[in-house]
Homo-oligomer: A and B are copies of this chain.
C-alpha cells in the first residue's frame, strides 16, 4: 500500500454500485478495503453484464483492489467475526461502510459497543429508509422528462447512473471528513447518506428547483442542445456524430476558423441583433447557427471534421460506442490511467486506475477484483489474529469460506 490513503482500513458490506464504487475509490487511493459477503455471494455477485460462462463483469469492475472475506451471514459466529473485524484496532481502522440494512448486529449502536470511535457510513435509499435505486431516484428528479428528442413522449432514463456515482464519491469524501474529525476529537460517528437526498441536493445545486419555482416553468425538452448557450450533435457525411459546443469567446472564434464561418457568424449577429460572445446571444441565435454548421458537417467525413475542429481548437468531441472507446488509442491505449489486466475467470481488458493524480506519490496501477473469499484466511489471521487451527475449524463448520 503506497497510495495517499495508506494506513486507512475500511470494512464494506455492500451491493450494486454506490457503496462498492465508494469503497473502490478509496481502495484505488491505497486504503485497505475489505468487502465482506455471504459465502453464497452478495446480491450483486452475478449481476449483468456477464461473460458467456456467467461470470459478472459488473462485479469485477466495482470491486477492484479490495480484499474479500466470505462469511455465513446467518451464523452468529460469522456475525461475531465480522463485528470484530469492523471494530478491529489500528489508527486508520474502525471504519465501516454499508448499503445493507444497518440493523441488529450491523447497527451503529451494536458495533460501536465494540469500538467507541467507530465511523460508519450508511447509504440508504431515502431518509425514511425505503429501498431506492438510481432509477427510482432519477424518476422523481425531473431529468427523465427533459431528456431525449424534442417531441418525445414520456420519460427517458439515464444509462450512466448519475446518483449512484454522486453517492459513491460523496460517500468516500464523507468518510475522510469523519476520519479528520476523529483525528481532531477522538470521536467516531455514524453518517447517513440517502441516495434520494443526494439526487435532490444535486438537482437543487444545478438550479432546476430554483428555475421551476422562480420562473414558474417546466423546462421543455431541448433534445441534444445545451440549454442556455450553444451545443448540439451533428451528423457527418459518413454517418458519424460529433458534439460541437461553444462555452466561451474562444470557442466562437475557433469554430468560426474551423468552418470558415467568420462572415456567417457576423451576419447572424447583425440579422438577429445578438452578440455570439454571450450565452444569451448564442442561445437566441441557435437555429441560425445550426443552419450554418449542419450543412458544413454533412459534407465532410468524421475524420475531416475531426481534423478541422482539432486544428482550430474548437470545443467538440466525436460520439463513440463502447467498443470504439475500448479501441480508442488516445482515450484508452495511450492513456497511462489504463492497464490491461487479466481478471481471473473473465479475461484481459483495459482497466482504469484512479483518475486522480496526486503529486506527492506515483499513481498506483489498477488491481484485479478478488475472488469471493480470496482473502478470508489472511484477514482472519492477519487482522483478527486467529491461528491456523481456529481458521481450519471455521472452514469445517462452514462459518467462513475461501475462494470458490
Contacts and interface: CB of A to CB of B under 8 A. Distances in A.
Nearest to A127: B335
A142 B247 contact: no
A322 B229 contact: no
B147 A156 contact: yes
A157 B221 CA distance: 11
B191 A352 contact: no
Q: How large is the interface on A (under 10, 10 to 19, 20 to 34, 35 or more residues)?
A: 35 or more
> Quick one: copies of this chain in the complex?
2
A160 B136 contact: no
A155 B243 contact: yes
A28 to B, nearest CB: 8
A229 B47 contact: yes
Interface in A1-29: 4-5, 16-17, 21, 24-25, 29
Given A133-B315, A136-B317, A212-B323, 13 more contacts: A4-B177, A48-B283, A58-B206, A62-B207, A127-B337, A139-B319, A147-B156, A154-B319, A155-B243, A185-B360, A193-B357, A209-B349, A209-B351
B356 A139 contact: no
A155 B4 CA distance: 38
Contacts of A80: none
Interface string A170-186: 10111011111101010
Given A166-B166, A166-B169, A207-B49, A174 B358 contact: yes
A219 interface: yes
Interface stretch (A32-40, A197-205, A381-389, A392-400): A197-205
Interface string A301-336: 000000000000101111111111110100110011
Q: Chain B CB within 10 Å — which of A133, A170, A356 has the most?
A: A356
A144 to B, nearest CB: 6
Interface in A209-260: 209-219, 224, 226-229, 231, 233, 235, 241-243, 245, 247-248, 251
Given A204-B350, A226-B135, A352-B201, A46 B280 contact: yes
A149 B140 contact: no
A196 interface: yes
